[in-house]
Amino acid sequence: MAGLMGSGGLGERRTIAARAKGGLLVLGGFVALLFAIELFNALMLRSLNRTFGLRPRSADGLLDILTFPLLHANLNHLLSNSLPLIIFGFLVFLSGLRVFMTALAFSWLGSGLTVWLIGDGGITVGASGLVFGLFAFLLVRGFFNHSWRQILLAVVLFMGYGSILLGVLPFVAGYVSWQAHLGGAAGGVVAALLLRPRGGVTGARS
């Protein structure tokens, strides 16, 4: 019995280690792609922003939802998004690829649709909506999952990064897109809600 428990614990540690390695590879690769796009965009005199940036309430703008988080206004804009994107994305990825992809997809779509619907009319670019979505997912999922460890992590993250949530307010965000932040955060909350464990499954496991 002790041997079974020991092998189970070892298997769990191996799973976490594999997810950590996969998370670093996926997030590192994604951020590297963003930097490659930023370099090409700079060489093209930011023409990609005009072509693939998100234009609210236009028919073509619906397709821009798929591309606008990949573009940035400048290098500093990208740098400001890169570290929190890696940190939050990595922490989400520790729960598995399916969880990460679901949180990312809802953050992406929530951010894009909100900008398309209520954007101020300018062209919006940047991955900050993804940052807000992944962050919001990490903040609320523990309450949906009834997991004290995830709630504790949420408290630590809120203490360290909670001030960024002010970016969803129109009078605080300034020249950045509060609509992208708000929509991304909403998408992250929806993803956490959809991924919560079913009551029957939880009872069966216990």
* 8 A C-beta contact, residue 186 and residue 110: yes
95 carries an active-site annotation: no
The catalytic residue among 72, 95, 107, 181 is 181
The catalytic residue among 82, 107, 128, 177 is 128
47 carries an active-site annotation: no
Q: Which residues belong to the active site?
A: 128, 181
